[in-house]
Amino acid sequence: MDLLIKNGTIIKAEESFVGDIAVSGGKIVCIGTGLTMQAEQTVDATGMLVLPGALDVHTHLAMPFGGTVSADGYLSGTRAAACGGVTTVFDYPLQRKGQGIIETVEARKKMCDPEACVDYAFHCCITDLNGGAVLDEFQDAVSYGITSFKCFLVYKKEGMMVDDGTLVKVLLKAKAAGAITNIHAENPDLIDMNIEQFKNEGKLSAWYHYLSRPEFVEAEADKRAVHWATSVDAPLYIVHMADKEGLTAAAAAKAKGYDIYIETCPQYLEFTCDVYKREDGRNFVCSPPIKGQESQDALWDAIKSGMIDTVATDHCPFQSYEKDWGKDDFTKIPNGCAGIENLYPYMLSAANEDKITFNRAVALCATNPAKIFGCPSKGSLTVGKDADIVIYDPKKDVTISVQNMHSDYDHTIWEGKMVHGYPIQTYVRGKLVYDNGKFVGEPGFGQYIKREPRK
Ligand code: URP
Ligand code: ZN
Ligand code: ZN
């Protein structure tokens, strides 16, 4: 046996119990009580929680965006992931006009492979169908392990937006190929109209980022995506849900039995749009923007009720000097914030404070994302699965600061946030990659996860 973790409280999505976990060859081979086998390494987890590693299914590493490239590459992003208990990272390569899907993903895989400190997978953003050639490639992409395609309903000027016709073609083709369509939902015309008006009025502070894309701007696109997905009966995954009205519409369709999944992010659960009134409001600029209290309350209700399926980060940090480009003009602020290292500690802290159960935190951050996105070896402490394991001290309080994070960015929206309880060790396929505040893994150890098609 390579590793024996003894006497911890094992947390699964459906139950918790005190027990031992035995690991061999990177897999969980036995779970029980009073296990006595010889192991190369034995860890006493008395008083600790033992959790499955999280899957952060929404990140943008080394992403060209907003006139620059996001501040975490594959090495620093996956290193930070390891230190926050995330053992699988999903990135979003962007297919561009004239490019194929596999060509797009392979270029990113080449970059990621030598650098990945944890396991990794890719969704692929579709921005252009190349006269239909891209749709014809869906089946091959699924065989390659890409079982989710993303459409942006915004970012028109950036050349990333798709129209409704393209969206419906993607929905249908993805379903036929055994894949799912992910959607960034905001209405671009409303945003452009608002921006033009605010520019004419000289209203250019970060607060106007929020006012140019308020609740109803996101809600319209959420509802439109739900409308098309239900009309053609195709699976849909709405990323970074942030508004109450869109959430309510998606939840209603889910309740009727449609194959719809909802993701939100910690920044929408922690902050409200008031952050955009702060002197450093530009640092919180992301799209969709953080909404008002009513939306935040609705998101928490849906987390508790199970209507929200996953929490992921939308990790897309930029350096302070880049955020400063928009000090006097919010339209020049690169959109995106950091979060990869904070996801699991934040959701587990919510559990530690009895806002949700630990089982629910595990479901949201590990078990559900693994199921939705076709990773049968991930997301749960179960015999036969990968030994992606987090040992968590529920009594260790940590104040988040850029100084104690493991990314390459120079500021974080989470600065000063105290979380109650913290991961003390992270194992990826049985290998220790994080130990008490220190990254101890190896770039290149992370493996590409070839995902399974949907049944
Ligand atoms: O502001 C954000 N979210 N930046 C990353 C790209 C996206 O829309 O997810
Ligand atoms: Zn987005
Ligand atoms: Zn994103």
Strands (E), 202-257: 236-238
Asked whether 287 lines ligand 1 (CB < 6 A), one says yes
| Tokens describing residue 331 | 């339209």
DSSP letters for 90-127: EE--B--TT--HHHHHHHHHHHHTTT-SSEEEE-EE--
Distance 454 CA to ligand 3 centre (A): 22
- Residue ranges of the chain with per-residue pLDDT less than 70: none
Question: Which residue CA neighbors atom 4 of ligand 1 most closely?
Answer: 336
Parse the chain into domains and list their residue ranges.
53-372
Distance 63 CA to ligand 1 centre (A): 10
Distance 60 CA to ligand 3 centre (A): 6
Question: Which residue CA neighbors atom 9 of ligand 1 most closely?
Answer: 314
At 428, is the secondary structure helix, strand, or coil?
strand
Asked whether 286 lines ligand 1 (CB < 6 A), one says yes
Task: Give the architecture (CATH level 2) of 53-372.
Answer: Alpha-Beta Barrel (3.20)
pTM (predicted TM-score) = 0.98
What pLDDT score does 272 carry?
98
DSSP letters for 6-64: EEEEEE-SS-EEEEEEEEETTEEEEEESS-----SEEEE-TT-EEEEPEEEEEE-TT-E
- Distance between CA atoms of residues 441 and 193, nearest Å: 48
Cβ 25 vs Cβ 375: under 8 Å: no
Question: Which residue CA neighbors atom 8 of ligand 1 most closely?
Answer: 287
In 113-163, which residue ranges form alpha helices assigned H by DSSP?
133-136, 138-143
